Structure 1
Amino acid sequence: MADDQEPKAPFTRLPSAYIDRLIPPIARFLHIEAAGGAVLLLFTAAALILSNSDWAHPFLEVWETEIGLHFGEFEFVRSLKEWINDGLMTLFFFLVALELKRELVLGELSKPRMAALSFAAAAGGMLVPALLYLALQWGQPGVAGWGTVMATDTAFVIGCLALLGSRIPPSLRLFMLSLAIVDDIGAILVVAIGYSHELSWGALALAAVSIAAIRAMASLGFRGFPLYFIGGALVWLLVDASGIHATITGVILGLMTPARRWVSDERLYAILSQVVAHPAEELGSGDTRHRQSLLTAEIAARETLSPVERLEMALHPWVVFAILPLFALANAGLSLSFDELDGSISVAVFFGFALGKPIGIMMFSWLAVRTGLATRPPDLSWRLLAGGGLLAGIGFTMALFIANLAFDLSQIDSAKLGILLASVVSATAGIALLLPLPKDEHRPRTKRS
C-alpha cells in the first residue's frame, strides 16, 4: 500500500538552506586558525630562546644547510631556510588564495557592498603603513623595507579574537579574516613586483603557457589532483627561473581553482539510490552493475565538494600546524644584542604596524561607508572595527617573509625587533579595547517608540 512506502529522500532530512554550506567551512577555518595561533606563538618563543642560548650558533647554522640537485654543470641548490620560505610558503599562499576564492564565490565577499568594506579596509591597512614607514625611513638605508609593514597575520589575529569569546560578533571575525586574506594577497603581489630579480621573459612566457595548459585541463574535465600537482610544480620552477618570486605561483593557482561543485545533492541522491536498487551479488567481483554503481557513487560523493573546499580541508591543518610553525622557527630567531641594532628601522616598522594599520583601516573603512561604496553590518560597531584595526598590527608571518627579502643581514634583526614589538603592543591594545565589551554588545539595539 502507498501508506507503507518509505518516504522519498528529500523528506527524510531537514530542509537545507544556502547558509548551511557556508557556516561549517568558515567555523572550521576559524577554529584551526585559533589553535594554529597558539602553536605559532610556541614556535616563535622557541626560536627566540634558542637564538639567545648557548645553542644559538648551531641553531642558526642548520637553516643554512644546502639541499638540492647536481647534474654535471646543472645545479639547483637552496638553503633549508630558502626551501621553507620559497617552497613550503607557496602552499601557504595557495591556501590563502583558496580561501579568498571561496569567500568571493560563496561567502560574504560575494556580496559587492559587503566585500567593499573588507577591500577598502585592507587597502588602507596596506597603503598608510607603507607611507608612514617611507616617511620615517626616507633617505636612509632601510627605505627598501616598506613592504614589510603591509600584511596582517591571520593566525595570531584569529587567536586573539578567540580569547575574547562571545564578546566578539561573527561579523568581526569574518571582517578580520577577509581583511587578512586580502592583505596577504596584496603583500605577495608586492613581493612579486617590488622584490623580484631581473626578469627572464622566456621563462615567464613558458610559465604563462603552462598556466594556460592547466586551465585547459580543467575545462576539458581532468579532475585528478596529482596531474595538477605536477603542472603546478612545473609552473613554480618556471616562475622561479623567470626572476619573479616563486610564491606568487600559489596565489595564481589558488585563484584558478574551481569553487563550484561538480555533483549536486539531487544528483548524488539519485546515484545513491542506484546502489540500493542493485544489491551486491553473492558471488563474483567482476564488472557487475553493482560494482559500477558503487564506483559512480564514490566519485559522486567526493565531487559534491568543490575542488576549493576539498583542497582547503586537506591543506589547512598541514599549513597551520606544520608549515607556519616551521617558518617561524627558521625566521623568528633574533639575537637580543641591542648594541648592534638600527633603531630607526625598528621604530619605522613598529609605528608602521602599531599606528599605520589602525589608522589606515579606520580611515578607509569610514570613507567607504560614508561614500556609499560599502555597507557596515549592524552588529559591527566602530569600536569593534577600531579593536580589529589595532589587532591588524600583528604582522608576524608575512612581515618576516618580506623582511627577509627587503633587508640585508645587517638590518634584518632590527626589522625583526620592530615586528615583534609591534605584534605584542598591537595584540595587547586590541584586546584591551575589546575585552570590556559586554557579551551582548554586538546585538543590534532596537529603537524605542
Structure 2
Amino acid sequence: MPEDSQGLPREIADRFSKPFGRFLRIEAASGILLLVAALAALGLANSSWSSSFLAFWEIPIGLHFGPLDFTRSLQHWINDGLMTFFFFVVALELKRELVLGELRNLRTAALPFAGALGGMVVPVALYLVLMVGQTGVHGWGTVMATDTAFVIGCLALFGSRIPPSLRLFLLSLAIFDDVGAILVVAVGYGEALNWLALALGTLVVAAVAGLARLGIRSVPVYFFFGAAVWLCFDASGIHATVAGVVLGLMTPTRIWVSDERLRSILGRVLAQPTQEEVEGHGPDRSDLRRAGRAVTESLSPVERLELMLHPWAGFVIMPIFALANAGVAISGADIGQQVSVAIFAGLVLGKPIGVLAFSWLAMRLGLAIRATSLSWSFLAAGAFLTGIGFTMSLFIAGLAYSPGTLDAAKLGILGGSTISAVIGLAILVVLTSRGRIALR
C-alpha cells in the first residue's frame, strides 16, 4: 500500500486529514453515479418495462400489529427513511465547516449563506408570480434547493483550472440550501400536528443531548435514540427527515483525546516490546487496546460519523433515491402545464439572479467578504450551476404535487436542471479557456 512522508498508508492518513477535500471527492464521484441512476430511471420509465418499474416502488413494506399499522410503500421508506441519513450527513458537514472548517469566519460564511438565501427567495417569488391561480401553486418549494453532488461533479470536470474558493462557495451554499429546504418541508409540507408525538420526540432529543453531556460515546446507543426520534417525528406530522438535520447539528465537535494525551499513549506502545508482549501476554497489552481507542477518539464525533456515513449517502442512498424518483413517462406527461414552465424559470433564471443579487448585497453592506480568487465571472458560472435542483427538487415535488401534476413537475425539474448545468458549464469552459490562453 502506498505510503505518505510519515510512513502511514494513504488511506488511513486521508481519514485524519483534509476532510473538506475528501467530502468534495466523494460528492464528485457520487454525482456521476447519480447521473447514471437518473438516466436509468428515465429509460426504464419510458420502456416496455415502465409499468413494472413504476409499480415496484409502490410495494408496501412494514409491520402490522393488530390495530397498529406501520406499513409504507418502498418509495416512502426511501424518501423518508434513507433520506434522513442523507440530511444527517449534510448537517454534519455544515456543523464541521462552521465550527472546525473554512466557515469559522462569520464574514466568510456570510457570502454563501446570503447566496443560498437569495437562491431560495427569488426563485420562489418568480414561481409564485407565474403560478397565480394555477393548480400546483403549493409546490413553490421545488425551486429552492441545489443538488450538491451534481454541482460538485460539474466542477470536478475542470480540476485545478477553477479556484478552490468557488468549490467552497458552492458546497457551502448547497449545504445551507439543503438545510433551508428541509426546514421548509417541515413547515410547508407537513401534516396536521400530533402534539403528543412531537412532545415525545422533543423529550428523546433532550435525552440525546443529556447522553452527550454525560460522555456516552457508543454509536449503537445513539442509533437507537435516533431511531426513536425518527419514529416520533414521523408520527407527529413533521416530516421525519427533519430528525436527521436536528441530530446532525447536535453532534459534538469536541475531541475526547487531546494531541498530548494521544502522544503519551502512543509513546508507551511504540516502546520496544518484549517477547512476552508480542505473544499477547504482557502486562502492557492493555496499552495497545487503549491506543486503538485513543486514535479513534482523537477525531471528533462529527468527523468520525461523516467519514463513516458519507460514502453510503453518496454511493448508495442518492442513486437509490434517483432510481425511485426520477422515472417519469415523458409521453404521458403534459409538458404544456404551467407548473413545468414555472419550475423551469425558477431554476434557470430565479436561482442565478437570487444568488448573485444577494451575494452582491451582502458584500455591499459589509456583511460578507469574497476571496480574491473568486471573481464575479466565476461566481456567475457557479450561480447558474445552483439551478441544478434535481435531488431535493424531486424530493419536495413528491410531497407537494398531486399524481396528475407530478410528472409535469418532474419534467420541469429535469429540464431546468439540465439547462442550468449547460449554461454554468459553458461559462466555465470560456473562463478556463481564457486562463490557458493567458498563460501562453
TM-score range, shorter chain: over 0.9
TM-fit CA distance, 1:291: 2.2
Residues 146-225 of structure 1: pairs in structure 2 closer than 5 A: 146-225=140-219
- The one of 328, 331, 336 aligned to 2:330: 336
* 1:381 to 2:366 alignment: no
How much does 1:342 deviate? Answer: 4.9
Asked if 1 retains the 8 angstrom alpha-carbon contact of 2:234 and 2:240, the reply is yes
State the AA in 1 paired with 2:113. F
Does the 8 Å contact 1:37/1:158 carry over to 2?
yes
Larger Rg: 1
1:93 aligns to 2:87 (yes or no): yes
Name the SS of the counterpart of 1:435 in structure 2: helix
> Which residue, 302, 306, 322 being the options, matches 2:316?
322
Equivalent residue letter for 2:232: L
Percent identity over the alignment is: 61
Distance 1:331 1:73 in 2: 31
The answer as to 2:34 corresponding to 1:40 is yes
Structure 1 residue aligned with 2:244: 250
1:110 to 101, 104, 117: 104
| Stretch deviating more after TM superposition (108-117 or 430-439) | 430-439
Distance 1:224 1:375 in 2: 40
Conserved? CA contact 2:44–2:50, under 8 Å = yes
Partner of 1:119: 113
Compared CA separation, residues 411 and 339, structure 1 to 2 (3 A): closer
Q: CA RMSD in A?
A: 2.1
- Deviation string, structure 1 residues 259-316 (Cα, Å, up to 9, x no partner): 2221122211110112234835628989863122112111101011111111111111
Distance in 2 separating the partners of 1:178 and 1:310: 20
Match of 1:302 among 280, 296, 307: 296
TM-score (norm 1): 0.91
TM-score by length of 2: 0.93
Displacement of 1:166: 2.2
For residues 289 and 192 of structure 1, do their structure 2 counterparts lie closer, same or farther at Cα, with a shift above 3 Å needed? same
What is the CA distance between 1:343 and its match in structure 2?
A: 2.1
Is 1:416 matched up with 2:410? yes
Matched, 1:232 2:226: yes
Q: Secondary structure at the match of 1:432?
A: helix
Distance of 2:188 and 2:70 partners within structure 1? 24
Which residue number corresponds to residue 447 of structure 1? none
Question: Which residue identity does 1:393 align to in structure 2?
Answer: G
Structure 2 counterpart SS, 1:67: strand
The 5 A counterparts of 1:52-71 are: 52-71=46-65
Q: For residues 339 and 88 of structure 1, do their structure 2 counterparts lie closer, same or farther at Cα, with a shift above 3 Å needed?
A: closer
* Counterpart Cα distance in 1 of 2:402 and 2:275: 70
Q: CA deviation at 1:385?
A: 0.6
Give the letter aligned to residue 388 of structure 2. I
Question: Which moves more between the two structures, 299-308 or 269-278?
Answer: 269-278
* Separation of aligned partners in 2, 1:33 and 1:319: 10
| Structure 1 counterpart SS, 2:69 | strand
1:368-447 correspondence to structure 2 within 5 Å: 368-438=362-432, 441=435
User: Are the counterparts in 2 of residues 278 and 290 from structure 1 also a CA contact under 8 Å?
Assistant: no
Number of paired residues? 426
CA distance in structure 1 between the partners assigned to 2:133 and 2:281 by the alignment: 75
Q: Is the 8 A contact 1:22 1:106 kept in 2?
A: no
Contact 2:277-2:285 at 8 Å conserved across structures: no
Q: Which structure 2 segments of 5+ residues have no match?
A: 1-5, 8-13
CA contact (8 A) 1:167 1:440 kept: no
- Shift in CA distance, 361/23, structure 1 to aligned 2, threshold 3 Å: farther
Deviation at 1:438, TM superposition (A): 3.6
1:49 paired with 2:70, answer no
Distance 1:286 1:163, change over 3 A: closer
SS in structure 2 of the partner of residue 337 of structure 1: helix
Pick from 352, 356, 363: which aligns with 1:358? 352
CA distance in 2 between counterparts of 1:85 and 1:424 reads: 23
Aligned residues of 1:66 and 1:79 also touching (Cα < 8 A): yes
> Match of 1:84?
78
